[in-house]
Amino acid sequence: MRFHSPQKLKTIADLIGSKFVGPEDFEVLGSNEIHMVKPGEIVFVNHPKYYDKALNSAATIILIDKEVDCPEGKALLVSDDPFRDFNKINTHFTRIYNFTEELHDAEIGEGTRIHSSAVIGNNVKIGKNTLIFPNVVIGDRTVIGDNVIIQSNTVLGGDAFYYRKLNGNFDRLISVGNVVIENNVEIGNGCTIDRGVTDSTVVGEGSVLDNQIQIGHDTIIGKKCLIASQVGIAGCCVIGDEVTLWGQVGIASGNKIESGSVLLGKTGVNRDLEKGTYIGMFAEDFKTYLKKEVKLRNLK
C-alpha cells in the first residue's frame, strides 16, 4: 500500500508511539506484507525466526519488536507489538468502510451493465462493456477492466485470511489492499477472491474461472489462465500465464507455478513448480506417475 503522499519516519513513530532508529526525516512511502514489500515501504516482523528475512528484504523500514543492528540505508520502528501497530498504520492511511457507508463514487465505463441486486463498495472502478450478474458483491477499491463477465454470487474483495493467536483468540491483520480484474476476464458463479492485505490480488487479462473458486490475498494469476471448479489458491501465490488448473487443485501459500503448466484434477501443490504437467497430492510429474503406475500393475 502506497500512502497518498510520502511520510517521515518520526511522523509514523509518533502515530504508533514507538521508538525509531534512523533520521527523523527518513522517507516512508507506504507499507506492505513481506511477500510483496518494495523499497520505501514498511514491513513488520514479530518473531526472531524472521528477523533476517525482514531486515534483508526489499523493505526500507522494518517495524520490529526488538532493537537490533539496522542495515545501512534502512530504518527501524521499534514496537512492543508490531502486528497491532502495522494495523494501526494501515487503517490510518486507508479508511475501512465494510459497506457501512456508501460514497456512491464508483466509476463505471460505457456499455457496462450491473444487475440491481449487485452491491458495489466505495472507490470502485469498472471498465467498459462489462457484465455483472445478480447478487455479486464488489468490495472497496476493486478495479475491474473492460469486457469482463462476473456471474452470480461471486464476491470480489473480501478480507484476507490472515490471523495471529492472541490471548487465546484470533486477531485479524486488517486488509487494506484491493482486487484487480484485468480486461476480458470471465468469472463464474460463487467465486471468492480476497483483496490483498496491503497490495493487490490480480486476475490477469483473458483468464477464465469456473464456479466456486477461492483465490487468497495478494495472489497473482497470469494472463489466459483456465481454472476449473473448486480450485483453492492460498495467499501470496504467483501463477504464470496460460496455466491450466483442473478441478479441486489446491495450492499452498507462497508458491509459484511456471507459465504453461497443467495441474490435473485434485493435484496438491506445496512447492514451486517448473513448467510441466502434474498430478497427485504432492504434484508429481505426470509421465513419472504413469510409469510408476505401470510398474505397480506389473508386479506379481
Instruction: Please list the active-site residues.
Output: 217
Q: What residue spans of the chain are helical by DSSP H? A: 9-16, 51-55, 82-93, 286-297
**Number of other residues whose CB lies within 10 A of the CB of residue 34:** 16
Q: What span, in angstroms and rounded, lies between the C-alpha atoms of 257 and 296?
A: 29
Map grid coordinates 512447492 to a residue: 271
* Pick from 4, 24, 2, 6: nearest CA to 77: 24
CB 210 within 8 A of CB 229: yes
Burial class (CB within 10 angstroms; exposed 0-12, middle 13-18, buried 19+) of 68: middle
Partners of 138 in the beta sheet?
Answer: 120, 156
Secondary structure (3-state) at 49:
helix
**Number of other residues whose CB lies within 10 A of the CB of residue 254:** 17
Please give the helix or strand (H or E) that residue 42 lies within, else none. Answer: strand 41-45
Q: What span, in angstroms and rounded, lies between the C-alpha atoms of 270 and 119?
A: 35
101: DSSP letter: S
Map grid coordinates 471498465 to a residue: 127
60: DSSP letter: S
Per-residue cell: 288: 513419472
Per-residue cell: 156: 470480489
